[in-house]
């Protein structure tokens, strides 16, 4: 790793804010995974208790004909039709977009996570459990499934912030923004006062956001960065890992937006150019993102490939 590049990046306060905000999302994800996993199992159990006909002995008879695509799903068998009805009855966004393409309906009777994915954003077909999901996927599930009793406005506020982080083309946020983010996260976490692992993370997030976020960059000597005292203290490789994860999520989001044609190809190209410019000066990050960049380039070079769907590894 090229330490001088990292040091230069972190000299920019707004970039550092952006990475801090991303670090919060990772902490949020980590503290939600266990809770969400347990609740999804409970939700599935409740569904089967209420409608025993949906249980493990029910089998899809439609085979490949019961395959959803993106937001479309026309069940071809009784079991899938009943499941679809039941999922929608618990969906808070039942009149809006439901990303059926995330799911394998044939697995609904036996796999709670396949059910959970009907309450999540697009592009999660290959995710097998909460440990594979990012914060926004888990937040959307909490928001869209009525099994979760929370103040939904507090959830959507955090989702909105997350989108602002990911869509920031400059990869910068102001300190005022960061303070507001902290408040919104606190409001959200306060909804889970009886879940110790969620309560616990708040102190860590607060400490992270309010600290100067000292980063230990060893000069000549290779002291171990993890042996630290008080305060939030990360080694350069930890910071680098966070940056990498954030950038991957950002590029993946750009990919999904391009694939769904939510943004014009010219706009994708413009955003891509900004990322490329940023990476030009930061070889340490560039090397880890070659695949993601190439994937995005394919849109730019062959925009008509979009419609054929031949590039989709997601569905
Ligand atoms: Zn079926």
Query: Measured in angstroms, how far is the CA atom of residue 62 from the centroid of ligand 1?
Result: 4
Cα-Cα-Cα-Cα torsion 246, 249, 255, 258, nearest 10 degrees, comes to: -80
Tell me what pLDDT residue 300 has.
64
Query: Measured in angstroms, how far is the CA atom of residue 15 from the centroid of ligand 1?
Result: 48
The average confidence (pLDDT) of the chain is 89
For the ranges 160-169, 186-195, 232-241, 246-255, the lowest mean pLDDT is seen at 232-241
Has residue 43 got a pLDDT over 60?
yes
The separation between CA 204 and the C-alpha centre of its own chain, rounded to angstroms, equals: 20
Has residue 161 got a pLDDT over 80?
yes
Query: Measured in angstroms, how far is the CA atom of residue 75 from the centroid of ligand 1?
Result: 6
Rounded Cα distance between 187 and 174, Å, is 20
Which residues have C-beta within 8 Å of that of residue 28, sequence separation ≥ 6?
135, 139, 158, 185, 201, 205
The DSSP bridge partners found for residue 69 are 72
Query: Measured in angstroms, how far is the CA atom of residue 76 from the centroid of ligand 1?
Result: 5
Query: Measured in angstroms, how far is the CA atom of residue 118 from the centroid of ligand 1?
Result: 15
More confident residue, 20 or 301: 20
Has residue 314 got a pLDDT over 60?
no
Query: Measured in angstroms, how far is the CA atom of residue 108 from the centroid of ligand 1?
Result: 10
pLDDT in tens, 207-261: 888 887 766 666 544 444 444 444 567 888 889 999 999 999 999 999 999 988 8
Q: What is the mean pLDDT of residues 100-127?
A: 97
Name the residue among 315, 312, 268 with its Cα closest to residue 293: 268
CA angle 294, 98, 310 (to 5 degrees): 30
Has residue 103 got a pLDDT over 90?
yes
Query: Measured in angstroms, how far is the CA atom of residue 101 from the centroid of ligand 1?
Result: 14
Max CA pair span of the chain: 68
Query: Measured in angstroms, how far is the CA atom of residue 279 from the centroid of ligand 1?
Result: 46
Helix axes 13-50, 152-167, angle to 10 degrees: 140
Q: What is the mean pLDDT of residues 76-91?
A: 97
Tell me what pLDDT residue 2 has.
64
Judge contact between 109 and 54, C-beta under 8 A. yes
């Amino acid at each position: 790793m090229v330490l001088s590049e990292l040091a230069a990046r972190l000299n920019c306060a707004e970039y550092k804010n952006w990475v801090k905000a991303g670090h919060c999302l990772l902490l949020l994800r980590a503290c939600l995974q266990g809770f969400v996993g347990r609740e999804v199992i409970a939700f599935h159990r409740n569904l089967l208790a209420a409608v025993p006909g949906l249980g493990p002995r029910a089998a899809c008879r439609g085979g490949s004909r019961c395959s959803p695509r993106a937001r479309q799903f026309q069940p071809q068998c009784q079991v899938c039709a009943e499941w679809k009805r039941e999922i929608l009855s618990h969906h808070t966004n039942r009149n809006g977009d439901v990303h059926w393409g995330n799911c394998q309906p044939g697995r609904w009777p036996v796999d709670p996570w396949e059910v959970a994915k009907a309450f999540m954003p697009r592009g999660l077909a290959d995710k097998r459990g909460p440990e594979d999901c990012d914060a926004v996927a888990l937040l959307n599930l909490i928001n869209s499934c009525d099994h979760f009793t929370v103040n939904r406005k507090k959830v959507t506020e955090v989702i909105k912030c997350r989108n602002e982080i990911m869509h920031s083309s400059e990869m910068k946020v102001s300190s005022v923004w960061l303070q507001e983010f902290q408040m919104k996260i606190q409001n959200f976490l306060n909804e889970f006062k009886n879940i110790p692992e969620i309560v616990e993370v708040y102190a860590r997030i607060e400490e992270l956001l309010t600290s100067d976020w000292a980063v230990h960059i060893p000069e000549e000597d290779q002291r171990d960065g993890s042996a630290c005292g008080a305060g939030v203290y990360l080694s350069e490789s930890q910071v680098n890992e966070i940056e990498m994860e954030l950038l991957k999520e950002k590029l993946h989001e750009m990919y999904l937006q391009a694939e769904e044609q939510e943004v014009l190809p010219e706009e994708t190209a413009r955003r891509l150019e900004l990322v490329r410019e940023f990476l030009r000066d930061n070889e340490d990050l560039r090397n880890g993102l070659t695949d993601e960049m190439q994937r995005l380039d394919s849109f730019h070079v062959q925009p008509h490939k979009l419609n054929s769907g031949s590039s989709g590894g997601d569905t």
